[in-house]
Amino acid sequence: MAIPEGEKNNIWKEVEATSPDLLKTFLSLKNEDELKAFFRDLMSERDLREFAMRWEVAKKLDAGIPMSQIQEEYKQSYTTITKINRWLKEGCGGYKMMIERMKKDAKGK
């Protein structure tokens, strides 16, 4: 079942109403040290671990690694991995964009 187009970005209206400059704040970070400091203050350790896990799962799914293997490696529920896979395939394109960018950057090094 595809994610309805209107549901993909609805969260941004709420986020921008709550914190109008949040995205500009992210974009103003100048380097990895600034990003680490800001994200560590902004998020809990659990949040950071969750982001890291989701990113790694998305990359593995994109590489064609079976969900069962990913589930075993990350000790995540099938539901969680399925949700990540759904956003990878039917989301806003953010996972794909960044996976391709990281592949391109790795080739350039």
Quote the mean pLDDT of the chain: 93
Average pLDDT over residues 39-55: 97
Give CA–CA dist 65/58, Å, rounded.
10
20-41 pLDDT, tens per residue?
999 999 999 999 999 999 999 9
Give CA–CA dist 96/71, Å, rounded.
20
Task: Please state the domain extents for the chain.
Answer: 1-42, 44-109
pLDDT of residue 16: 94
Q: What is the largest CA-CA distance in the chain?
A: 40
pTM: 0.86
CA nearest to 29, candidates 20, 39, 16, 19 = 39
